[in-house]
Amino acid sequence: MAEVLVYVDHVDGAVRKPTLELLTLARRIGEPVAVALGAGAADTAAVLAEHGAVKVLTADAPEFAEYLVVPKVDALQAAYDSVSAAGSLAAVLVPSSAEGKEIAARLAVRIGSGIITDAVDLEAGDEGPVATQAAFAASFTTKSRVSKGTPVITVKPNSAPVEAAAAAGTVEALAVTFGALATGTKVVSRTPRESTGRPELTEAAIVVSGGRGVNGAENFHLIEELADSLGAAVGASRAAVDAGWYPHTNQVGQTGKSVSPQLYIASGISGAIQHRAGMQTSKTIVAINKDAEAPIFDLVDYGVVGDLFEVVPQLTGEIKARKG
């Protein structure tokens, strides 16, 4: 059976959920071989094995943290070379983070392959894996495939369920030689973001977002309290971010994050195309807005026309009461 390379996104050995989703998709087209790089790489093996990785290739070197993107490309290419030399390789799958996409794209150039980004589903096909993507602010769904080389595909979070599927997960050290370009861009300093304790926006099952109607940074606690009552991530519209009410890392929309949770709650968001582009593929959509004509109501499964300053606290209180 052909193998599928899966690039592992992890933090000091803790594997992030989108990688486990990738393993589910990888098993549809072949045997997953995981590639984990950097500090804690070997610690990823147990959980990757539980989710179907037959092999885990690991490498650690200071270059991965000290220079931007390219050292990881060198390592992924080494993995590609070693796996494709030993047998047939069906695809290379990478999580669709900003960095993941850059790593995947540079690998694709090197191995002479086409690339598909931001797939939301993947299935086996006669001419190689078929990727489903959302296009034009998610108003279209396309099916595409890579027609030259080994398909390189990046997949968005929440595109597949996490499934237990025990496999060997044999750890093998990956030999990496860094090329001349690897040290081109130095990371001089890195300031980690303060953790909010809430789920990652793109990975969350529930997202609660606030927009212009929230009317000030000082009111965003209403959105946060609702989010916390549901164990949700907090998002913000571009209007709220541009006004400086909430950080850009939480922006949902065309120039921010694109999310696809089980439940999306939009509060005080009119639903301009810029915003819809980032949340239209959510499974269930709920909105609270005082303007009955707001375009967001065209998307909702349930909408409340009303003042969010009344509705949101009542909703939060009711959720807390029901959860006891």
Partner 1 sequence: MSLRIVVCVKYVPDATGDRHFADDLTVDREDVDGLLSELDEYAVEQALQIADEADDAEITVLTVGPEDAKDALRKALSMGADKAIHVEDDDLHGSDVMATSLVLAKALDKAGYDLVITGMASTDGTMGVLPAILAERLGVPQVTLLSEVKVEDGTVTGRRDGDSASEQLVASLPAVVSVTDQSGEARYPSFKGIMAAKKKPVESWDLEELEIEADEVGLEGSWTAVDSAAQRPARTAGTIVKDEGEGGKQLAEFLAGQKFI
Question: Shortest gap between Cβ of 124 and partner 1 (angstroms)?
Answer: 14
Q: How far is the CB of 172 from partner 1 (least distance, A)?
A: 27
Distances in Å between the Cα of 228 and the Cα atoms of 5, 143, 234 are 36, 37, 9
Comparing CB distances to partner 1, the nearer of 32 and 253 is 253
Q: Considering the complex, what minimum distance in angstroms separates the CB of residue 58 from partner 1?
A: 20
Q: How far is the CB of 322 from partner 1 (least distance, A)?
A: 5
Query: Looking at 6, 41, 83, 108, which residue binds partner 1 (CB under 8 A)?
Result: 108
Among the listed residues 246, 274, 273, 278, the one whose alpha carbon sits nearest the alpha carbon of residue 261 = 278
- Closest residue by Cα to residue 226 from 202, 198, 194: 198
Written as six digits, the tokens of 66 are 């000290």
Q: Judged by CB under 8 A, does residue 135 bind partner 1?
A: yes
The greatest distance separating any two alpha carbons of the chain, rounded to the nearest whole angstrom, comes to 63
126 belongs to the binding site for partner 1 (CB under 8 A): no
Nearer to partner 1, 166 or 193 (CB): 193
Of the candidates 146, 153, 33, the one whose C-alpha atom is nearest the C-alpha of residue 92 is 153
Determine, following the binding rule CB under 8 A, whether residue 113 of this chain makes contact with partner 1: yes
Phi (first) and psi of residue 28, to 5 degrees: -75, -25
Query: Which residue carries 């030399």 as its tokens?
Result: 85
119 three-state secondary structure: strand
61-80: contacts with partner 1 (CB under 8 A): 68-70, 73
- DSSP letter at 150 equals S
Binds partner 1 by CB under 8 A, chosen from 115, 155, 204, 240: 115
Nearer to partner 1, 245 or 297 (CB): 297
Residue whose structure tokens are 């980004």? 117
Which residues from 77-106 bind partner 1, rule CB under 8 A? Answer: 97-99, 101-102, 104-106
Is 170 a residue that touches partner 1 (CB under 8 A)? Answer: no
State the residue for tokens 């060198």: 74
**Is residue 161 close enough to count as binding partner 1 by CB under 8 A?**
no
147 is a contact residue toward partner 1 (CB under 8 A): yes
Tell how strand 55-59 and strand 170-173 pair up.
parallel
Residue 49 or 252 with smaller CB distance to partner 1 = 252
Is residue 239 a contact residue for partner 1 (CB under 8 A)?
Answer: no
Instruction: Kindly write out the interface string for residues 9-48 of this chain, putting x where it contacts partner 1 by CB under 8 A and - elsewhere.
Output: --x-------------------------------------
Q: How far is the CB of 271 from partner 1 (least distance, A)?
A: 12
CB of 68 to partner 1, least distance (A): 6
Residue 302 sits in the site that holds partner 1 (CB under 8 A): yes
Task: Please name the amino acid found at residue 230.
Answer: L
What are the structure tokens assigned to 10, written together?
């992890």
Closest separation between CB of residue 170 and partner 1, Å?
Answer: 29
Amino acid present at 52: G
Residue 14: exposure state from Cβ atoms within 10 A (0-12, 13-18, ≥19): exposed
Q: What does the radius of gyration of the chain's CA atoms come to, in whole angstroms?
A: 21
Task: Decide: residue 193, CB within 10 A, 0-12 exposed, 13-18 middle, 19+ buried.
Answer: exposed
192 lines the binding site for partner 1 (CB under 8 A): yes
Query: Between 6 and 232, whose beta carbon lies closer to partner 1?
Result: 232
- Applying the rule CB under 8 A, the residues between 271 and 290 that interact with partner 1 are 273-274, 277, 280, 284-286, 288
